[in-house]
Amino acid sequence: AACRDALQPCLNAYANGAYAEAVQLCEAAHAASGEPRAGATAARALAQLGAWDRALAWVERLRGTAAEPGLWSVAALVHLRRGEREQAAEAYKRDLALLAKTGDPAGLARAHYGLYFLAWEDSRYREALEAARLSFAAAGKAADRRGQGLAAEALYTVLYALGDLDGAHRALDLAARLFPPDNAADQVRLLGNRGGLALDEGRPALARHDIQQAVDLARGSGDDRFFRSHQLNLVQASLALEDLDGAARHLDEAWRHAEPGSPPETALLFYRARVSRARGDLAAADRALSEALAGDPVLDWVWELEDERGRVAQARGDLAAAEAAWRRSIAAVEQLRGAVGFDDLKAWLLDRKRDPFESLFLLLVRAGRASEALGTVERATVRTFQDAFVEAAATPAAGGALWTAAADRVDALQELLPAMSESPAAALMPVEQALAASRGRRVLVYFEAQGEVWRIDVVRGKARPRRLDTPAERLRVLVDRFRTDPEPGVAAALGALLLPADLTPGELLHVVPDGALARLSFAALQRNGRRLVEDHAIAYVPGVSFLAAA
């Protein structure tokens, strides 16, 4: 009874968040009674106070006692805060072994979640996924719905990083059903994640609604990084909705949360430039971009800043400066692509890095520089051709179990990713050389650029570009309709739209598809009342360079 009387005030103080008081009471209770739970609670309170050495000392002191299971997860958190990742992983693994023996599912869920976080931070997605799955299962056994929600949120994080937006949606919906509605922190993350997902899906109105709710719910938290990031997302959504006043307002809010005494964050300068250009203040946009580029940003920012610089130059009518900026942007993209790894694969499966290629292509083709325009298409699509294979092979079948489908996707991507930098399709020859080597072959190159669809007909070693009469969105509708119901009328309409009028029966057609056309069977198109395959053999190739080198 005396032991319980000494222990209870210690436990109460910890439960109430009075950690300094808890340390005093718990250490006194342990000294008086030797009760291991008192020492374990002291360790947890010390960890909360940042007294890391003392917390670890208690963990070591309680080895072999009934309170040891679960304490190594406390030690792991201490090691994490000190940047000792290997020690943190070992502590979690030691705790898992102890907790499995004692049959503590709640403790197991926490330890598995800790290992998920470590694997995620190191871009070890397969390990992260498995740890999240085990955490979800253990939390279920413990009837811990919030623990399951955290594991489902972890699954969302992995799938989002790998570009599986459908799977990420399903995981986030699962987390939403599990998180308690009265936990503000969970709801803020949930809304913010939903908003980010909607932005990537091109649904800016929904994104703005969810992100604004997250911001409103988080007011008063004092987390400048959170507010800065989410206000910039609101800037992006507002620009997409052409709400320039809203974009400017959110940008001002983001700047209010800038780090005091530090150089401006690249993202703040980038969005200042975008808003300034949208409002017609090209000089202000130029100043913001110059300041951002002078700060030696990482390549993933360089390409965006140079792309925006090209747009600013184009807006003031300086096409030479625009071309130079877009070429610098493309150079940064290609440097990134050469080193693409599993940790940044999402950036390629949700690829906006085509923007400078599309802008440069349109500038060149409208200036009558057909060969150079084709060279730009080659640079844009030769890697996209590989990316399409990776995405198709790595996309899980619809309707599969969420965790199983996620594991299949990770495994497929791990197997395919090395080929993305090793394939000969990534090696381009100069466009004039490729055209000369392709003389005698008929090549139909298609390219989507800023809502337009172009066909470059390569005939007798010459590039003949032509803009198609149907915008990209309408073409996507036609292609999807044809794939659902390949009736002759649609086949004829697509044939008339996509194919040149001067095809010679019997000649081999080499097709370089892009966008929605990558999903289309050209063989089934109709021309003059006949299916294309009746008059032509058809070969799909990544580009003219690949064909010339074959």
3 state SS of 500: coil
Among 482, 478, 483, 480, CA closest to 468: 478
Cite the DSSP H helix spans in 279-354. Answer: 282-294, 299-315, 319-338, 346-349
Q: What is the CA radius of gyration of the chain?
A: 29
Which range is least confidently modeled, 5-9, 235-239, 292-296, 522-526? 5-9
Which range is least confidently modeled, 74-88, 148-162, 221-235, 371-385? 371-385
Residue whose token pair is 């010339």: 548
Res. 422 pLDDT band, cuts 50 70 90: low
**pLDDT of the residue at 345:** 52
Between CA 456 and CA 459, with CA 458 as vertex, the angle to 5 degrees is 140
DSSP 508-528: PEEEE--GGGGG--GGG-EET
CA distance 549 to 215: 54
Of 336 and 130, the one with more pLDDT? 130
**pLDDT of the residue at 397:** 47
Residue whose token pair is 């399409």: 388
Between CA 47 and CA 6, with CA 36 as vertex, the angle to 5 degrees is 95
> Hey, how many other C-beta atoms are within 10 angstroms of the C-beta on 154?
25
**pLDDT of the residue at 175:** 96
**pLDDT tens, 260-289?**
888 899 999 999 999 999 999 999 999 999
Among 283, 269, 213, 271, CA closest to 238: 271
**pLDDT tens, 4-24?**
667 899 999 999 999 999 999
**pLDDT of the residue at 340:** 54
Helix (H) or strand (E) holding 538: strand 538-540
Among 286, 280, 284, 380, CA closest to 337: 380
CA distance 102 to 113: 18
**pLDDT of the residue at 341:** 55
Instruction: For residues 128-141, give the mean pLDDT.
Output: 95
**pLDDT of the residue at 398:** 45
**pLDDT of the residue at 411:** 73
Instruction: For residues 22-39, give the mean pLDDT.
Output: 94
Among 84, 97, 136, 102, CA closest to 75: 84
Kindly state the tokens that stand for 3.
């032991």
Q: Is the pLDDT assigned to residue 387 strictly greater than 90?
A: no
Kindly state the tokens that stand for 13.
């103080």
How far does Cα 238 stand from its chain's mean position?
A: 20
**pLDDT of the residue at 545:** 87
Percent of the chain with pLDDT over 70: 90
How far does Cα 215 stand from its chain's mean position?
A: 21
Mean pLDDT taken over the chain:
90
Report domain extents, the chain.
Answer: 429-549
CB 535, CB 467: distance < 8 Å: no
Q: Is the pLDDT assigned to residue 327 strictly greater than 90?
A: yes
Res. 416 pLDDT band, cuts 50 70 90: low
Kindly state the tokens that stand for 173.
């919906």
Instruction: For residues 301-325, give the mean pLDDT.
Output: 98
Quick one: CA dihedral 124, 126, 129, 133, positive or negative? negative
Q: Is the pLDDT assigned to residue 466 strictly greater than 70?
A: yes
Percent of the chain with pLDDT over 90: 74
CA distance 509 to 540: 8
Query: What are the b/e assignments for 271-286, b being 16+ CB within 10 Å?
Result: bbbbbbbbeebbebbb
Instruction: For residues 339-364, give the mean pLDDT.
Output: 72
Helix (H) or strand (E) holding 457: strand 452-459
Strands 526-527 and 509-512: unpaired
How far does Cα 347 stand from its chain's mean position?
A: 5
Residue whose token pair is 């009837």: 143
Q: Is the pLDDT assigned to residue 84 strictly greater than 90?
A: yes
Instruction: For residues 159-168, give the mean pLDDT.
Output: 83
CA distance 66 to 54: 20
CA distance 334 to 215: 36
**pLDDT tens, 43-66?**
999 999 999 999 999 999 999 999
Long-range contact pairs involving 492-495 (C-beta distance under 8 Å, separation at least 24) = 492/526, 492/527, 492/529, 494/520, 494/525, 495/525, 495/526, 495/527, 495/532
CA distance 128 to 112: 9
Instruction: For residues 60-82, give the mean pLDDT.
Output: 96
CB 457, CB 444: distance < 8 Å: yes
Q: Is the pLDDT assigned to residue 425 strictly greater than 50?
A: no
Instruction: For residues 511-525, give the mean pLDDT.
Output: 93
